[in-house]
Structure formats: C-alpha cells, structure tokens
C-alpha cells in the first residue's frame, strides 16, 4: 500500500562523461564544434564550449529509497555542487516523508532554497529529486510515470532531431532538423553570411517541406537576431530558438514583434518554474516554450507550466531530456512533438541521449517512439558507470 510507505533515504552521486550533462563529451563531437554562445565575444572561447566550462558540472544522480527497499532515481546536470545541496540541505524534506507527498516535498525544497535558488543549479537539483520521487512512486505502484499523470493522449510521440546533420535526420524519419548557429555578432557580417549559406545549402539537401530550425543558444543580440531571422526566413526557417539571453524578456518580446508570424520565436530551456514561464507567456516572448524537465523544476513543476501554456494555446515542446520528457509529452495535448538530441559525434546515428548512463533508454525509430509501460521512467543505471558519493550524510 503505497500511501503508507515512507522515504527512508535520499542519496546523491556524481558521474562524468555524457549522461545528463550531455555536453560532457569527448573530442570531435558536433556539439562542441564552434557553436555560437554568449562567450563568443572572447575569441579564445569561440571554438569550444567546453573551453569556458559548459561541462563543468557533470551529472548528478539522485536515488530515493522507500522503507520497503524500493528505489527510484533520476539524473540532471548538477554534479558535485548538486550533490552537496541534496545531502546537506534538501534531504531533510525528503527523508521520513510519505512517498506520495510529492507536492509538499517540492514546495518545501523550493521555499527553503529561495534565498539562494529560484532558478539554475538549485532548480536542476529540485528537478532531479522530484523526478526520482515520481520514478519511485511508479515503481511502488507498478505503473509507468505517464500513467500516473493522466495517461497517453496518443499512441506514439514524433520527434525532430537536433544536430549538425538535418539531411541525415530526414532520412532517419524525423519530422525536422534543428542546427546550432555557429557564428554570433562578434564574427560580423561574414559570420552571418556563413550561417545563411550553411542553412541555404541544408535547405537544398532536405527539400522544401522538412522543418529546419536554428538554435542560437543565447548568443545573439536583438538586431542580429532580427537580421538572421529575416535572412533565414528566405530559406524556410521554422523557428529561431533561444536567440537572446534567458533574462532578456523585453528583447524576446520585441523580437517576436519584429519577425513575421511565419517565423516562430522559441525559448525556455534555461528558464525555470511556473513564474519564469508565466513571464515568458505574459510578455509575449515566444510562440512555443521549451522547458527542460531536468532543469525547470521537474515533472511536478512542468505540469503547472504546461497548464499555463495550454490555457493560452501555446505548445510545450520540452528541451531534450530523454525519458523524463517523453513520459510527460505523451500525456499532453499541447505537446504534439518532441526534441531528440543526436548524441552521436557526427549526428549520423541514433544513440540514447543520456548514454552511457541509462540502460533500457528508448530512442525514436523512424522518428517516432512508443513510450514503454515499464514502471517508473523505465530505465536503470548502468552499473559500468562508476558513481561517487562526495557528501554522504
């Protein structure tokens, strides 16, 4: 009887190399090859995002164990600082609580960390604990998480692919391809021309109907984003993503006004909580929001964010995040398609997004996926991935 079960312990582990910190890859990977970022104004940090620390945190693995020994887990981008926050601070709201007290635990974790949290790392940690609790509840009730939050509204989820090769993604059956923008304002007119030429060449490769998107990873300014959006529109740009830093709500609102309606403006992967997304929605910043369930506050918060968006007719297309977003999206009418991040170094094969950390991690086949009905999120930790527990309490 799950309502009587309590949480006996919560444990925080760290691991390096792929996993939830999917930017933590080896050399010669498309995801670290001269991609535009807010750091690109400094030439020494232009070639590689790892050079300025995009993979500095590593993966945090959170385990929660019920009094009958059943264990749930989840992962996020938080590494050692995240492990400290779990074991030294947030564990007190989890241990001893009923396994069903997910809402109360969430509110206590968020409220108790407001003085140093609100977004970023702390919300990544809260997300991982929240997702681990949902995994545990699913395992105790022998139900997949999607069945705990209302059940599937469609038989399968369709995906677009993010990576350097939309031409290959089209052949693999994905509904679209999102390319990273590689040049920002610091590289001047030549950089913008190079982006447009690369996009135009890709449009030639994929034909007129395949979705093509540009991911700017917070790297542009309003003027440059306007010019780039208009230039790429000539080659069938479906959306321009995260053109500006996440706190520039005013810039996004103005960009939305400046670009024609057939070019969608999207953002949200580095936004967190219902309040952050309410700001995006009420200021008219974007046409579609892209929360990451491992970063925005977890499934408990994403359900609230999704309802806000749904009330305004806005789609929620979660950023990456593997099974944690698949179990959510399959239950939401306003999440009709999802992102799949191509984590193969040349984006030429479909490999599990959080590889090598999770076993049984499902991947889209021919661009679509039926979410397995295995209890919880349906994945296991790979015992070959060596975990450390730096702050055992």
Ligand X SMILES: C[C@H](O)[C@H](O)[C@@H](O)[C@@H](O)C(=O)O
Binding-site sequence positions for Mg(2+): 215, 241, 269
Say whether residue 159 binds ligand X (CB under 6 A).
Answer: no
309-331: buried (b, 16+ CB within 10 Å) or exposed (e) per residue?
beeeebbbbbbbbbbbbbbbbbb
| Six-digit token string for 267 | 């953002």
Say whether residue 274 binds ligand X (CB under 6 A).
Answer: no
Residue with smaller CB distance to Mg ion, 65 or 241? 241
- Note whether 313 and 293 are within 8 A (CB): no
Min separation Cβ 270 and Mg ion, Å: 9
Selected binder of ligand X within 81, 177, 180, 362 (CB under 6 A): 180
Q: CA–CA separation, 255 vs 277, rounded Å?
A: 17
Which residue spans within 163-244 are E strands per DSSP?
Answer: 176-180, 211-215, 237-241
Selected binder of ligand X within 215, 254, 271, 361 (CB under 6 A): 215
Q: CA–CA separation, 90 vs 109, rounded Å?
A: 6
Count Cα neighbours of 249 within 13 Å in the Cβ-side half-sphere: 11
- Report the residue number whose CB is nearest to ligand X: 180
Taking CB within 5 to 8 Å according to partner kind, which of Mg ion, ligand X, none is near residue 180? Answer: ligand X
Say whether residue 164 binds ligand X (CB under 6 A).
Answer: no
Taking CB within 5 to 8 Å according to partner kind, which of Mg ion, ligand X, none is near residue 341? Answer: ligand X
Look at residues 291, 321, 288 and name the one whose alpha carbon lies nearest to residue 303.
291
Q: CA–CA separation, 218 vs 173, rounded Å?
A: 29
Taking CB within 5 to 8 Å according to partner kind, which of ligand X, Mg ion, none is near residue 63? Answer: none
CA max distance for the chain: 64
Say whether residue 318 binds ligand X (CB under 6 A).
Answer: no
Residue with smaller CB distance to Mg ion, 87 or 242? 242
* Interaction mask 277-316, ligand X, x per CB under 6 A: ----------------------------------------
* Interaction mask 205-224, Mg ion, x per CB under 5 A: ----------x---------
Q: CA–CA separation, 387 vs 389, rounded Å?
A: 7
Say whether residue 342 binds ligand X (CB under 6 A).
Answer: no
Which SS3 state, helix, strand or coil, does residue 161 take? strand
Which SS3 state, helix, strand or coil, does residue 215 take? strand
Min separation Cβ 84 and Mg ion, Å: 28
Question: Could you give the residue numbers annotated as active site?
Answer: 319
DSSP state of 374: -
Please give the residues from 8 up to 67 whose contact with ligand X meets the rule CB under 6 A. Answer: 31, 35
Look at residues 258, 260, 310 and name the one whose alpha carbon lies nearest to residue 288.
310
Contacts with ligand X, residue ranges (CB under 6 A) = 31, 35, 162, 180, 215, 217, 269, 319-320, 339, 341
Binding site for Mg ion (CB under 5 A): 215, 241-242, 269
């Amino acid at each position: 009887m799950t309502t009587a079960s309590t949480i006996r312990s919560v444990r925080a582990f760290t691991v390096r190399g792929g996993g939830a910190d999917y930017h933590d890859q080896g050399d010669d990977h498309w995801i670290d090859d001269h991609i535009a970022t807010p750091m690109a104004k400094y030439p020494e940090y232009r070639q590689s995002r790892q050079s300025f620390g995009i993979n500095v945190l590593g993966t945090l693995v959170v385990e929660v164990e019920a009094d009958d020994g059943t264990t749930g887990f989840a992962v996020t981008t938080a590494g050692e600082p995240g492990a400290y926050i779990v074991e030294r601070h947030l564990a007190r709201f989890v241990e001893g609580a009923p396994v069903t007290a997910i809402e109360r635990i969430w509110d206590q974790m968020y409220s108790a960390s407001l003085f140093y949290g609100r977004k970023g790392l702390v919300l990544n940690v809260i997300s991982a604990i929240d997702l681990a609790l949902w995994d545990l509840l699913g395992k105790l009730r022998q139900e997949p998480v999607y069945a705990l939050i209302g059940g599937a509204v469609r038989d399968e989820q369709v995906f677009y692919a993010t990576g350097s090769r939309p031409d290959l993604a089209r052949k693999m059956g994905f509904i679209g391809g999102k390319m990273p923008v590689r040049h920002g304002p610091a590289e001047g007119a030549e950089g913008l021309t190079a982006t447009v030429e690369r996009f135009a060449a890709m449009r030639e490769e994929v034909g007129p109907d395949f979705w093509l998107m540009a991911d700017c990873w917070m790297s542009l300014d309003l003027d440059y984003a306007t010019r780039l959006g208009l230039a790429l529109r000539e080659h069938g740009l479906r959306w321009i993503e995260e053109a500006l830093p996440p706190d520039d709500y005013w810039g996004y609102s103005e960009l939305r006004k400046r670009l024609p309606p057939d070019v969608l403006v999207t953002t949200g992967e580095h936004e967190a909580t219902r309040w952050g997304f309410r700001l995006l929605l009420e200021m008219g910043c974007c046409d579609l929001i892209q929360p990451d369930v491992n970063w925005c506050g977890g499934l408990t918060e994403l359900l609230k964010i999704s309802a806000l968006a749904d009330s305004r007719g806005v789609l929620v297309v979660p950023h990456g995040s593997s099974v944690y977003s698949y179990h959510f999206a399959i239950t939401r009418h306003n999440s009709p398609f999802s992102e799949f991040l191509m984590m193969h170094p040349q984006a030429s094969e479909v490999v599990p997004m959080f590889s090598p950390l999770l076993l049984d991690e499902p991947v889209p086949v021919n661009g679509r996926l039926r979410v397995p009905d295995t209890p919880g999120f349906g994945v296991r930790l790979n015992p070959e991935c060596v975990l450390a527990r730096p702050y055992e309490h």
